[in-house]
């Protein structure tokens, strides 16, 4: 395990720092005593625009960059906007790293995605299998755009001695997640669908009905967002090697069991209908998390049921606050 970088004394830029994961990373940095953390907003710095990237580096003068900003979404959003997911994510990452190299950044942390893995990678996904096949088709443009940051990080380390690392988190969830039905991932999408179905049932007097994409057979691994933030900060402090590193919980659950658990946690007791015409996505997702434990001591702390309970409680409170605002 590498010696710690004292992040508390560094000027740190967290792109996407005002977002779901970024907010938790900023808080984790501040708990370490970091006094100079800057989270640029998209309205002020559109990182797809090279001029905005240059201005960010000129104004913030970062010593450490944690690049979390990304265009993300579920299967439906990826399927409808493959070109945008590819271009926006590629341009943000490539320009952020190149300008960081030019400006002499001491450490660059690039966040990848589990969507970069081959569709039929052996389970659990090991980092060494990353290049042994093409990603699942609906997420491939996004996954490949992110994977190019690994290529860039390794090439820059080889040619310039640039200290860039590449982390691949599994699907995240938690309080403050994106619950927009057009772009949300599976857990927030299911939570919202349950609450929406129950609200509709109260108005109509009919039994609530939940429609879920696919067959329910695929499996997924999930990582609580606060655990992910801790893992990213640990890696920023302690990891300085070219090999990519998975960030996960080691817990795998089928979509069918996930739906049942979300229904139980939200109080949904209606009919569940599986729309088998819709795609399932990748058949299985579970990570080998041994490298993160070995290299920088990361281990997820929050049990999945507890994390789900916290997420549902947050959303229930957000709905109540929204209702108060309307009254």
* Rg of the chain, C-alpha, whole Å: 20
- Angstrom distance (rounded) from CA 76 to CA 73: 8
Q: 45, 57, 117, 142: which is the annotated catalytic residue? A: 142
CA-based torsion, 156, 158, 159, 161: positive or negative = positive
Q: Cα–Cα distance between 6 and 10 in angstroms, integer?
A: 7
- Where b means 16+ CB within 10 Å and e means fewer, 61-90 reads ebbbbbbbbbbbbbbbbbbebbebbbebbb
Is 142 one of the annotated active-site residues of the chain?
A: yes
Question: Please, what is the angle between helix 186-204 and helix 304-326, to 10°?
Answer: 50
Q: Which residues are catalytic?
A: 142
């Amino acid at each position: 395990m590498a010696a710690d970088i004292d992040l508390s004394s560094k000027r740190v830029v967290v792109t996407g720092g005002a977002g779901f994961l970024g907010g938790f990373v900023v808080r984790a940095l501040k708990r370490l005593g970091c006094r100079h953390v800057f989270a640029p907003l998209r309205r002020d710095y559109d990182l797809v625009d090279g001029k905005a990237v240059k201005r960010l580096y000129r104004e913030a003068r970062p010593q450490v960059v944690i690049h979390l900003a990304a265009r993300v979404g579920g299967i439906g959003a990826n399927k409808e906007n493959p070109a945008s997911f590819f271009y926006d994510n590629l341009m943000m990452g490539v320009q952020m790293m190149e300008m960081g190299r030019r400006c002499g950044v001491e450490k660059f942390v690039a966040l990848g995605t589990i969507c970069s893995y081959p569709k039929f990678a052996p389970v659990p996904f090991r980092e060494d299998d990353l290049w042994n096949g093409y990603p699942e088709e609906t997420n491939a443009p996004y996954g490949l755009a992110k994977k190019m940051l690994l290529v860039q990080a390794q090439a820059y380390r080889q040619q310039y001695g640039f200290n860039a690392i590449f982390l691949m988190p599994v699907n995240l969830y938690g309080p403050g997640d994106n619950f927009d039905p057009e772009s949300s991932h599976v857990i927030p999408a299911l939570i919202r669908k349950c609450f929406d179905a129950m609200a509709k049932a109260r108005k109509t007097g009919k039994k609530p009905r939940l429609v879920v994409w696919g067959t329910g057979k695929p499996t997924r691994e999930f990582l609580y967002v606060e655990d992910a933030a801790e893992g990213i900060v640990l890696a920023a402090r302690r990891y300085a090697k070219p090999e990519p590193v998975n960030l996960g919980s080691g817990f795998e659950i089928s979509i069918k069991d996930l739906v049942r658990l979300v229904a139980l946690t939200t109080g949904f007791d209606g009919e569940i209908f599986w729309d088998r015409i819709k795609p399932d996505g990748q058949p299985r997702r579970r990570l080998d998390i041994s490298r993160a434990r070995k290299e920088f001591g990361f281990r997820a702390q929050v049990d999945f049921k507890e994390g789900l309970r916290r997420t549902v409680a947050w959303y229930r409170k957000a709905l109540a606050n929204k209702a108060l605002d309307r009254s």
